[in-house]
Structure 1
Amino acid sequence: MAKILILNGSPNAKGCTATALQEMVGIFDAEGIETEVIQLGNKDIRGCISCGKCEQIGKCVFDDLVNEVAPKFKEADGLVVGSPVYYGSPNGTILSFMDRLFYSTHFSKHMKVGVAVVSCRRGGNTASFDVLNKYFTISGMPVASSTYWNQVHGFTAEDVKKDLEGLQTMRNLARNMSFMIKAFSDAKEKYGYPEVETGCFTSFPDGK
């Protein structure tokens, strides 16, 4: 069975972001896809210090939730990352988590489907959406889209339940993500995944 890992970067486990993510979970259940929701927005997650130890020991040097989630991410067919908007950007906890998760995991993320979901009261959604999508697009992860940008609006969970278009967007997003995961699985069996070239690394070490 296909599996999707869902990260809730909000400190509120039953808030606006969670409401959007649960709307997706209902569709995943109907599509026969297993989900696991991990609440991380209320955890103490420090940022990456670029020490490079993960290259040596195969995991982040800070042994916390990042290292617990890493093997689940490896086995998952897709990743959903949800965050509220703080000052026009994803909140600091989810950014620290994503920096360390993606940097310290050296397994291939190629063709895992990525989805960003953001929530706010009024503004900052599209900027936050853009930031989160960059984790996927640097890692060879196809990004699922919907019938609008993957966002909901509201100050409380009850507000989000009134955002009917936002919830509709979440349901369509979950359907599209489910389809992509199933289609990629079939295509892998029939064609194999695309070749990935890795030989070039632009660094200009000669200073010219």
Structure 2
Amino acid sequence: MYVVAINGSPRKGGNTENLLRTALEPLEKAGWETEFVQLGGKKIRGCMACGKCWEKQDGHCVVDNDAFNDVMDKMVKADAIIIGSPTYFSDVSAETKALLDRSGFVALANGGLFAGKIGAAVVAVRRGGGIHVFDTINHMYQMSRMIVPGSTYWNLGYGLEKGEVQGDAEALANMRNLGETVSWLGKAMAPNMASFPAAP
């Protein structure tokens, strides 16, 4: 099974990346193919609402001169998608929002490409606003008929400076539990995916 973790933070090696990589550890140990994608800091524009994805229905966005379509291919391939974002004014980063809008729309336009996949949100936050980030990511998952696993707490880690989240023992334990839950859920779902209800 394959899981992709997408980092919407422009800061490489920062707290969001630390949390995502911690969540991937149990999946790697369980034999999953894992991939970490650094999206933040790359060129990715917002949705233009042009509707071309509904006309073309090729699983891609008509805008092909940025990072989106490569990441979309990985999301379509994945059995599980973990999207992480820092907290910017109580919401996701601009890169994360662009990914959510465009991937969700392209998936819907192509018959529900994310339906039945596992989707988890991971959030780095300094102090407040992280729950809204968590909700923003999960909204796309839920509108896409994805399965959202729980963990021992909200998937939040606290820290400002790079690596500071490593001092948040509860967050790291929660990330490991999240990875374990995703792994268990994926294996439980695998034999039944062929019978997942089709979109109306």
Please say whether Structure 1 and Structure 2 have the same fold, judged by a TM-score greater than 0.5.
Answer: yes
Is the CA contact (8 Å cut-off) linking 2:13 and 2:163 kept in structure 1? no
- When the two chains are superposed, the root-mean-square deviation of aligned CA atoms in Å is 1.3
Cα distance in 2 between the residues matched to 1:14 and 1:96: 21
Match of 1:136 in 2: 141
> What is the SS of the residue equivalent to 1:90?
coil
Cα distance in 2 between the residues matched to 1:112 and 1:168: 24
Q: How many residues align?
A: 194
> What is the SS of the residue equivalent to 1:89?
coil
Cα distance in 1 between the residues matched to 2:92 and 2:138: 11
Select which of 147, 152, 172 maps to 1:147. 152
> What is the SS of the residue equivalent to 1:187?
helix
Match of 1:117 in 2: 122
Match of 2:70 in 1: 68
Cα distance in 1 between the residues matched to 2:173 and 2:21: 12
Counterparts of residues 20-169 of structure 1 (less than 5 Å): 20-57=19-56, 58=58, 59-63=60-64, 64-105=66-107, 106=110, 107-169=112-174
Cα distance in 2 between the residues matched to 1:110 and 1:173: 20
Match of 1:14 in 2: 13
Deviation at 1:197, TM superposition (A): 4.6
Deviations 1:118-164 (A, max 9, x none): 01110011111011100100111000110000110001233101000
Cα distance in 2 between the residues matched to 1:6 and 1:194: 24
| Greater radius of gyration (CA) | 1
* TM value normalised by structure 2: 0.92
* TM value normalised by structure 1: 0.89
Counterparts of residues 167-178 of structure 1 (less than 5 Å): 167-178=172-183
> What is the SS of the residue equivalent to 1:86?
coil
Deviation at 1:79, TM superposition (A): 0.3
Deviation at 1:6, TM superposition (A): 1.0
Amino acid corresponding to residue 31 of structure 2 in structure 1? G
Percent of aligned positions that are identical: 36
Of the structure 1 ranges 77-86 and 21-30, higher mean CA displacement relative to structure 2 is found in: 21-30
Select which of 178, 183, 187 maps to 1:182. 187
> What is the SS of the residue equivalent to 2:195?
coil
